Amino acid sequence: MLRWLRILVTSLAVVMGLGVLAVVAILWLRLASPPLPQLPDRIALPQGATPAAVTFARDWTVVVTETGEVLLYDRQGKLRDSVTP
């Protein structure tokens, strides 16, 4: 009876270890590189600007470029304001 209990405990430990490895692998795959949302076609970035972050709101869209410039677009895609660092 004791041998059977030892086999059950060992198999439970192996299954739990595999489960932890599976959770870690899933988290690593999902959180490795989150994709940026696609910019709408109506928004034209300035020449040479590369988006680093995009925020969508009800009436406007904010784009932060790789250089740290903040661009504020209205709903129609017209550049309303820009802030340079």
14 phi/psi in degrees, rounded to 5? -65, -45
| pLDDT tens per residue across all 85 residues of the chain | 899 999 999 999 999 999 999 999 999 988 887 776 788 888 889 898 888 888 998 999 999 999 999 999 998 889 999 998 8
Residue type, 16: M
The span from the first CA to the last CA of the chain, in angstroms, equals: 72
